[in-house]
């Protein structure tokens, strides 16, 4: 019996020590099993809608695949070379870059002051806020169509009819290459400024107001306050806003397509329009895939660069 007692003792002791460990471990394993079931659908989405198509884009970009011929050959970097020889794709690249950079700059330049103004009290503030935000509500494609009528090169376009009333000849807003590019960018700024101003406003309202009161007591003038207090505090908002604007700008399709169809010529064509036309309408899968791969790399580079830059800026201020 004594033997039993001594051999039993460790057994008796062990469960009390082990119990809290063993049960969670078992539970964790069971949870891990269940967790896998919960995560499965999103993994299916990832594999079917991202991984496989990405792999195909990459593979087709090195082939002469045209969607019909079963005779698919590897052609190395031919498709990539063809992109840089295709004037429509080059102008799409140029315009998309210009659009992304200019809308980002202009929207930021307008949205920050607008947010600062909306952060103060004045008569009609609710009206101003709603009106500026409103263009973010309807579809951008529909807005593009509305503006085709406003900018119509005919005398009956609103802007031209107003100009006509004061004796100015009709201006071919969407028929001239440079004017069309400017028009598309300005309409984009009109459509997006209010939304981004709301984003900045949300940040401004989360900054404790005693910070500003302290700086006023220190005798800071408005410009000093803006440069050394408001702007640094807004850095996280600027990062978010610019990231959305830049990636959104690179991906743009709806607005230029509905406003100008990418014309006149190729003046307002976007990379997305090029991918769709080459890959789906003309079934030049190889070239469209090569463009898709370059597009992916460009967007990835912009995101990486933006994150590095904003981290640097945040470090400098903090």
Partner 1 sequence: MKSSRGILLSVLLVPLACLVALPFYYIVVNTLKTQPETAAQPLALPTSLYLDNYIEVFRDIPVLQSFLNTLYVTVLSIAIMLLIGSMAAFGVLIGRGRLASIVGVILVIAFVVPGQATLVPLYRMLAGVELVDSLNGLVVMYACGSIFCYFLIIGYMRSLPTELFEAARIDGAGPFRVYWSIALPLIRPILVTVGVFQTMWVWNDFITPNVFINSPQKQTLVLQVYTAVGEFTTNWPVFMTLTVIALIPMVVFFVFAQRQIVSGLVNGSVKG
Site for partner 1 in 170-209 (CB under 8 A): 190, 194, 198-199, 202-203, 205-206
Give the range of 9-17, 150-158, 166-174, 209-217 binding partner 1 by CB under 8 A: 150-158
Using CB under 8 A as the binding criterion, the count of chain residues that bind partner 1 stands at 88
Residue 74 has φ and ψ, to the nearest 5°, of: -75, 135
Query: C-beta of 155: minimal distance to partner 1 in Å?
Result: 9
Residue 63 has φ and ψ, to the nearest 5°, of: -125, 170
Binders of partner 1 in range 2-41 (CB under 8 A): 27-28, 31-32, 34-39, 41
Pull the structure tokens for residue 40: 């499965």
One residue of 13, 17, 214, 280 binding partner 1 per CB under 8 A: 280
Any idea which residue has 């009290």 for tokens? 121
Query: C-beta of 49: minimal distance to partner 1 in Å?
Result: 5
How far is 215 from 244, CA to CA, in rounded Å? 31
Binders of partner 1 in range 65-84 (CB under 8 A): 67
Binding of residue 140 to partner 1 (CB under 8 A): yes
**C-alpha to C-alpha distances, 207 to 170, 202, 230, 236, nearest whole angstrom:** 48, 9, 9, 12
Query: C-beta of 111: minimal distance to partner 1 in Å?
Result: 13
How far is 298 from 304, CA to CA, in rounded Å? 10
Binding of residue 288 to partner 1 (CB under 8 A): yes
Binders of partner 1 in range 38-57 (CB under 8 A): 38-39, 41-43, 45-46, 48-50, 52-54, 56-57
One residue of 98, 101, 146, 233 binding partner 1 per CB under 8 A: 146
One residue of 137, 231, 308, 309 binding partner 1 per CB under 8 A: 137
CB 112 within 8 A of CB 198: no
Query: C-beta of 63: minimal distance to partner 1 in Å?
Result: 13
Binding of residue 223 to partner 1 (CB under 8 A): no
Of 109 and 137, the one with the shorter C-beta distance to partner 1 is: 137
CB 92 within 8 A of CB 273: yes
> What does DSSP assign to residue 134?
G
CB 270 within 8 A of CB 92: yes
DSSP, collapsed to helix, strand or coil, labels residue 116 as helix
């Amino acid at each position: 019996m004594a033997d039993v007692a001594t051999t039993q003792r460790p057994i008796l002791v062990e469960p009390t020590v082990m119990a809290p460990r063993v049960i969670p471990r078992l539970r964790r394993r069971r949870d891990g099993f269940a967790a896998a079931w919960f995560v499965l659908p999103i993994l299916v989405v990832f594999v079917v809608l991202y991984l496989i198509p990405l792999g195909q884009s990459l593979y087709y970009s090195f082939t002469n695949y045209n969607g019909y011929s079963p005779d698919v050959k590897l052609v190395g970097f031919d498709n990539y070379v063809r992109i840089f020889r295709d004037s429509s794709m080059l102008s799409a690249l140029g315009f998309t870059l210009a659009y992304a950079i200019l809308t980002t700059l202009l929207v930021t330049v307008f949205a920050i002051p607008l947010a600062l103004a909306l952060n103060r009290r004045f008569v009609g503030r609710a009206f101003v806020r709603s009106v500026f935000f409103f263009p973010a509500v309807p579809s951008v494609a529909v807005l593009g169509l509305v503006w085709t009528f406003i900018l119509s090169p005919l005398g009956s376009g609103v802007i031209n009819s107003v100009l006509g009333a004061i004796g100015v000849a009709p201006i071919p807003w969407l028929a001239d290459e440079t004017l069309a590019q400017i028009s598309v960018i300005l309409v984009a700024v009109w459509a997006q400024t209010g939304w981004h101003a709301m984003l900045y406003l949300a940040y401004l309202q989360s900054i404790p107001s005693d910070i500003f009161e302290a700086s006023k007591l220190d005798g800071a003038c408005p410009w000093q306050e803006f440069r050394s207090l408001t702007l640094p505090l807004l850095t996280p908002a600027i990062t978010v806003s610019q990231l959305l604007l830049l990636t959104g700008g690179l991906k743009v399709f709806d607005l230029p397509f509905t406003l100008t169809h990418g014309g006149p010529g190729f003046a307002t064509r976007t990379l997305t329009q090029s991918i769709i036309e080459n890959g789906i309408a003309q079934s030049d899968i190889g070239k469209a895939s090569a463009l898709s791969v370059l597009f992916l790399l460009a967007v990835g580079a912009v995101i990486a660069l933006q994150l590095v830059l904003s981290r640097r800026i945040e470090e400098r201020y903090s």
